[in-house]
């Protein structure tokens, strides 16, 4: 037994830099709270306000259900159209930016395009497109098409970069043209994941299409915003409930679609 040397050896090294970081984070959070004057009393008065707001929302009003239905349909249309075009466009763009299959002259522009699509939040895109093409669903569709390209284009490129190149080598060795190599050796390896990304994006597009209307790009968001401004809180409640129902349905659909394609 060699007791003294045992005590000297420490198996786990203390990371002082990390500890300092944690302390710093805690201190800053407390400072920020005080800087923004967020106190317990302020929270309690807020709760009061909230209770009154809730009170005015209930019971929900279904008086203008025709308007609501028309808006919901427009929202669904925006989501479906933008998903279809967004997904169709991000296939080739994602493929172009896969660095294991494509030369640098193809991946750079494709990656730059995806990067631009990802850099703006949908709200910013929506404002830009409302300015560019005017109020209405057209602006909403363009917004969500760009959002889709940014999201699934990137994920799809990453999925392709993770494939096994062995079947690719085999198909090339058999003299297969490039497109056939893609269809036989690449697509089967990524199809499942691509379906997953696409259904997720459809779900996200449904959610976002309820929002783009707030800046005038079509869908139920416009009516929602108007109801706010006119203190129509009972109608507002109906809109919120219907959005929840819509999102639940689309989530259920997304799950079903994935089940069909998963094997």
Partner 1 sequence: MVNNQSNGNGGQAPRSLTINNLVKEYVSGKPVLKGISFEVTGRTTVGIIGPSGTGKSTLLRCINRLIEPSSGSIVVSGQEITSLSGRDLRLARHFIGMVFQEFNLVERLSVIENVLCGRLGFTPVWRAWLRKYPQQDIDQAFELIRKVGLEDFATVRADELSGGQRQRVGIARAVMQNPHIIMADEPTSSLDPKTSVEIMELLNDFSRDQNIPVLINIHDVDLAKRFTDRIIGMSDGRIIFDGPPDGLTDEHMKQIYGGEGWLT
Which residues are at the interface with partner 1 (CB under 8 A)? Answer: 166-167, 169-177, 179-181, 183-185, 188-189, 191
Rounded least distance, CB 178 to partner 1, Å = 9
Rounded least distance, CB 173 to partner 1, Å = 4
Our CB check for partner 1 shows the closer of 84 and 187 to be 187
CB 120 within 8 A of CB 215: no
Our CB check for partner 1 shows the closer of 130 and 186 to be 186
Rounded least distance, CB 193 to partner 1, Å = 12
Our CB check for partner 1 shows the closer of 3 and 173 to be 173
Rounded least distance, CB 177 to partner 1, Å = 6
Our CB check for partner 1 shows the closer of 50 and 188 to be 188
Our CB check for partner 1 shows the closer of 46 and 177 to be 177
CB 77 within 8 A of CB 136: no
Our CB check for partner 1 shows the closer of 115 and 170 to be 170
Rounded least distance, CB 39 to partner 1, Å = 59
CB 194 within 8 A of CB 156: yes
Our CB check for partner 1 shows the closer of 56 and 169 to be 169
User: Could you write out the DSSP letters of every residue in 150-182?
Assistant: HHHHHHHHHHHHTS-SHHHHHHHHTT--HHHHI
Rounded least distance, CB 219 to partner 1, Å = 36
Rounded least distance, CB 192 to partner 1, Å = 8
């Amino acid at each position: 037994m060699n007791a003294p040397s045992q005590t000297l050896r420490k198996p786990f090294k203390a990371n002082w830099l990390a500890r300092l970081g944690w302390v710093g984070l805690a201190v800053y959070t407390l400072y920020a709270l005080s800087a923004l004057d967020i106190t317990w009393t302020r929270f309690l008065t807020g709760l009061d306000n909230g209770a009154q707001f809730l009170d005015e929302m209930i019971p929900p009003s279904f008086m203008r259900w025709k308007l609501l239905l028309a808006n919901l349909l427009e929202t669904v249309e925006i989501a479906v159209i933008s998903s279809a075009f967004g997904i169709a466009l991000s296939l080739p763009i994602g493929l172009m930016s896969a660095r294991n299959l494509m030369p640098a002259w193809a991946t750079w522009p494709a990656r730059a395009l995806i990067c631009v699509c990802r850099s703006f939040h949908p709200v910013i895109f929506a404002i830009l497109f409302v300015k560019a093409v005017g109020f209405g669903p057209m602006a909403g569709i363009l917004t969500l098409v760009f959002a889709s390209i940014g999201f699934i284009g990137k994920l799809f490129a990453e999925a392709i970069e993770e494939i096994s190149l062995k079947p690719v080598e085999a198909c090339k060795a058999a003299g297969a043209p490039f497109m056939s190599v893609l269809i036989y050796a690449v697509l089967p390896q990524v199809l499942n994941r691509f379906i997953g990304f696409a259904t997720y994006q459809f779900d996200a597009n449904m959610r976002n299409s309820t929002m783009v209307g707030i800046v005038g790009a079509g869908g139920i968001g416009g009516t929602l915003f108007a109801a706010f401004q006119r203190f129509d809180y009972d109608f507002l409640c109906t809109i919120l409930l219907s959005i929840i129902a819509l999102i639940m349905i689309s989530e259920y659909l997304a799950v079903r679609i994935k089940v069909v394609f998963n094997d």
